[in-house]
Amino acid sequence: MTGPGPAPGDNRVFHVEGEPVPRDADAIEGDALPVPGGQLPVVGPAVRFLDNRTGLVTFGRSALEKVFPDHWTFLLGEIAAFSFIVLLITGTYLTLFFRPDGTTTIYTGPYAPLDGTKMSAAFSSVLALSFSVEGGLLARQAHHWAALLFIAAIVTHLTRIFLTGAFRRPRELNWVIGFTLLLLALAEGITGYSLPDDLLSGTGLRIIYSIIMAIPFLGPWIASLLFGGLFPTTAIISRLFIVHVLLLPGALIGLISVHLLFVWIQKHTQYKIPGATEHNVIGLSLWPGQAFRSIGAFLLTAAVIALLGGLFEINPVWIYGPYVPYAAAVPAQPDYYVGWLEGLVRMAPNWQLTLFGITILPEPFIPGLVVPGVLFTVLWIWPFIEAFITGDRREHNLLDWPWEAPWRAATGAAFATIFLVLLLEGANDVLAAWLLIPVENLTQFFRIMVFAGPVIAWIVTYRLARARLEHGTKPIEPRGGIALRRNATGGFEEVHDRAAVDAALGGGGPK
Amino acid sequence: MTAGMERDPDRAYGGPRTVRPTTTTERRAEVFVGLLFIATILAALGLIVSYIIGANTQVDGVLLAVAFAGLGGAIVVWVQYLMHTPTMIEARHPIQPNPAADVSPGQVAMREAESGFTRRRMLIGMLFASVGGLVTAIAVPLFSLGPLPGRALFVTKWKKGSRVVDVNGNLVHASQIPINGIMTVFPEGAPGDAMSQTVLLNVGPGLLQLPADRASWAPQGFVAYSKLCTHAGCPVGLFRATEHDLMCPCHQSTFDVLDGAQVTFGPAPRPLPQLPIQLQPDGTFVALGGFPEPVGPAFWNQTSGGGA
Ligand code: FES
């Protein structure tokens, strides 16, 4: 175990809180940043200038040496951050052309099928930036794809954190912050989806309005406050806009900063690789190894988003047309990250509780707000729930492999199954058309599966994890455990003799 | 710790570099990195040209992707094959409160007491009251964000005697709707009104099984229901003529047209309200009154008639 002081032979500057950091303006320049091959003439004076005014070199040096574990799963959070940067850049470009204006205009422009159609100024500006602005459609589609990638990266990152127990003490708070970031990202997705004021986004807003209206007692009033009156309102687009481009991004940037600060202070967790202990971090130093890899990964993420944005059409709002309250969009499909909520609302039974002429629980309230609230709250405070159940409140810097905590892996699988079933139900009309099954039967099936599925997933995952745990890291079946050999009659027979299998595979046994 | 991995971070970082001849792998990597940089430069030039001549989204997207991928790929290959980035081990210092900076509740309380802050109970109470008052006062203008819903949720533009028009405001004629035909209609003067949207269907004579008190509401098999889904307000636009049901595209709530739009499937909690209509001698329609109950999705006092 390493004590608080430097290990013998370690001549790094250790900063012990409470002790003054010795600093000599003249001397520090020389040994502040050892550069192989000698001091760069520009960097040296600049560093000295900065250090004489801030004293940041000590920090800067330890920062450059900070060690980052090198495992591909650590890239997931980074991809989320990279997509967020792409979202900020493409989003800024879009605001230069988008008009958050719900008032009605008549469209005249290059898109002939809608020429002369009544629509909001917002929708008209989306058509203009898609068809008349150089790079506008590319930016719009890249923005949409980046949003899908952003949320997918956050979800997989959280899954990794969950399955490996990285959220355990001392990192409970960072899980809570990370999960809050997911909620903010979902809110960004929903508000952004609603801004173009096309038929699908208007339909989505109509449903959101109705769900809010179903809040017991206060619903109609809250909905009217948020939307500026009875649906449809002209005010909603400009309100959603400021939430989408200022409030939510501000909250995201603030919380991402805290998130990274916590990672910095608490240092990364690491997998149980040779040499890894609870008291060290093995990996690459930030500069240059990790930094170059991250910059490269950022550019490659940007490349993927640019390619998707350029080649794969997404949300072609001109095909849907402007929002008209009496026009139906079939099939109405939200983006995948809302699909599970859509499924929940679709499969809910039409029960509501009415007493003395007062509807205590109007219909979409339970599936639209209560159930998602419960599911998310459980996940949101999961570190504390797990600590409560297991009684384990020790610090953990070494990660579990998922199978090392079968109970946790099983619970994660159960949650994933719930969301998956709901997601499928959210597309029940499309699935029904593909499978040639009546949509009613499909919904009945999913109603059962949303309860049975997680139970099955829990048991299966638990069993698999136990099996893996008991067999250690050995493969469950020896190589060639089942081998077929062609026999004289042209049929196949199973070979049980291990040596014969190895011989047939070319002699030397497993390589 | 494994002995082989233990390395002094400082020396790993700044120590003398072993100078050794470039290997073939490294030489290949150098060439590859160079080619990737060239790809980025060419793609960037291409983007500029494309902007000038006005190329399309696909070309721009591919060029942008090549530019990013070239630069990113080059950096990754560079660091992976041409840079010496050894695995390092950093000690993890236990996270613990610093005893020198004790901010225990006891100490904080003592400081407060010493300063005389906690002594003036009355003033502290008033401090909280004034902060609360100020925050409330600042929050109150939020109420101007939207009007109280009032009776707006209980009424539509349909009145006794409203003539039935289509979305363009033209009078609807019975001959325009064949058997199993469907049309979206509005009260005269409010075509397109979201709350008043109504479907007018012709199911043919003798099929309707409406409650007795509504017998006169659907002349000659023409029946009118609110188009606003009672689930979440989507327009109920799909008429399946063989089943005689209306289906909502949003969450598949299904309403039996023949039976007063009773819910036969899905999450909608109540039937679509029916609009009483009358067929005029000239073949047009008028409403015998507004909807007998509020249209659209549920809310807490919907069945109370708006407290009026
Ligand atoms: S809005 Fe019609 S079923 Fe939900």
Give residue-wise pLDDT tens across range A218-243: 999 999 999 999 999 999 999 999 99
Instruction: Determine the distance separating the centroid of ligand 1 and the alpha carbon of B232, expressed in angstroms.
Output: 5
The Cα angle at residue B87 between residues B83 and B88, in degrees rounded to 5: 120
Residues B108 and B181 in one domain: no
Parent domain of B241? 164-287
Q: What percent of chain B has pLDDT over 90?
A: 68
Is there a domain that residue B217 lies in? yes
Report CA(A418)–ligand 1 centroid distance (Å). Answer: 22
Residues in A closer than 8 angstroms to B301, CB to CB, are: 357-359
pLDDT digits (tens, 9 = 90+) for A430-480: 999 999 999 999 999 999 999 999 999 999 999 999 999 988 655 444 444
CB contact under 8 A, A310 and B235: no
ipTM exceeds 0.90: no
CA distance A185 to A120: 26
Count up the domains in chain B and report the number: 2
Tell if the CB–CB gap between B14 and A9 is shorter than 8 Å.
no
Instruction: Please tell me whether residues B113 and B203 are part of one structural domain.
Output: no
Instruction: Judge whether B233 lies within some domain.
Output: yes
Clarify whether residues B140 and B13 are in a common domain: yes
Mean pLDDT across B53-77: 94
B130 is a domain residue: yes
Kindly state the greatest CA–CA separation across chain A: 90
Buried b (16+ CB within 10 A) or exposed e, A269-306: bbbebebbbeebbbbbbbbbbbbbbbbbbbbbbbbbbb
Do B10 and B138 sit in the same domain of this protein? Answer: yes
Return the best residue to mutate from B227, B234, B263 for the ligand 1 pocket (most ligand atoms within 8 A of CB).
Answer: B234
Query: Residue A2: which of B88, B91, B232 has the nearest Cβ?
Result: B91
Domains of chain A and CATH, by start = 72-400 (1.20.810.10)
**Same domain (yes/no): B172, B251:** yes
DSSP letter string, A413-443: HHHHHHHHHHHHHHTHHHHHHHHT--HHHHH
**Per residue in A91-144, pLDDT tens?**
999 999 999 999 999 999 899 999 999 999 999 999 999 999 989 999 999 999
B308 in a structural domain: no
Quick one: pLDDT at residue A56?
83
B2, B37, B299, best to mutate vs chain A, most A CBs in 10 Å:
B299
- pLDDT tens track for B116-168: 888 888 999 999 999 999 999 999 999 999 998 888 999 999 999 999 999 99
Q: Exposed (0-12), middle (13-18) or buried (19+): which is A133, by Cβ within 10 Å?
A: middle
- Minimum CA distance residue for ligand 1 atom 1: B232
Do B169 and B217 lie in one domain? The reply is yes
Q: Is A489 on the interface with B (CB under 8 A)?
A: no
- For chain B, say whether A95 makes contact (Cβ under 8 Å): no
Q: Do B95 and A324 touch (CB under 8 A)?
A: no
In this prediction, residue B218 carries a pLDDT of: 93
Question: What part of A 306-365 touches B (C-beta under 8 Å)?
Answer: 306-311, 324-332, 342, 345-352, 354, 357-360, 362-364
CB contact under 8 A, B79 and A429: no
Q: Which residue has the higher pLDDT, A32 or B30?
A: B30
pLDDT of B305 over the 70 cut? no
pTM: 0.87
Asked, for residue B96, whether it belongs to a domain, the answer is yes
Q: Is the pLDDT of residue A39 over 90?
A: no
Q: Which atom of ligand 1 is nearest to the CA of B233?
A: 1
Taking an 8 Å cut-off on Cβ atoms, the answer to whether B5 and A274 are in contact is yes
E strand spans, B125-250:
164-165, 181-187, 198-202, 222-226, 238-240, 245-247
User: What CATH number is associated with residue B205?
Assistant: 2.102.10.10
B141 and B39, same domain (yes or no): yes
Q: Is residue B193 part of a domain?
A: yes
* DSSP one-letter code for A113: G
Cα of A433 to ligand 1 centre, how many Å?
A: 19
Give me the residue from B62, B231, B301 closest to A311, CB to CB. Answer: B62
Q: Which residue has the higher pLDDT, A28 or A428?
A: A428
Distance from CA of B54 to the nearest CA of A (A): 7
Residues B192, B78 share a domain: no
Inter-chain touch B147–A220, beta carbons under 8 Å: no
Q: Which of A78, A284, A333, A363 to mutate to test the interface with B (most CBs of B within 10 A)?
A: A363
Question: Which pLDDT does position A185 carry in this prediction?
Answer: 98
B184 & B120 share domain = no
Query: Are B168 and B258 part of one and the same domain?
Result: yes
Q: Which comes out higher in pLDDT, residue A480 or A174?
A: A174
Distance from CA of A305 to the nearest CA of B (A): 8
- Show the beta-strand stretches assigned E in B55-163: 88-91
Residue in B48, B80, B300 to test binding to A, most A beta-carbons within 10 Å: B300
Q: Is residue B52 within 8 Å of A261, Cβ to Cβ?
A: no
Check if A294 contacts B (Cβ < 8 Å). no
Residue B38's pLDDT is 97
Q: Is B35 on the interface with A (CB under 8 A)?
A: no
Which pLDDT tens digit goes with each residue over A483-493? 555 666 666 66
| Confidence (pLDDT) at A497 | 60
Q: Tell me: the pLDDT tens digits for B264-290? A: 999 999 999 999 999 999 999 999 999
Of A155 and A492, the structure prediction assigns the larger pLDDT to: A155
Asked if the structure places residue B292 within a domain, the reply is no
Categorize the per-residue pLDDT at A509 as very low, low, confident or very high, splitting at 50, 70 and 90: very low
Q: Is residue B187 located within the same domain as residue B138?
A: no
pLDDT at A16: 46
Q: Is residue B294 part of a domain?
A: no
Share of residues in chain B with pLDDT > 70 (%): 90
Domain end, chosen from B88, B111, B145, is at B145
The SS3 assignment for B93 reads coil
Answer yes or no: do B182 and B244 share one domain.
yes
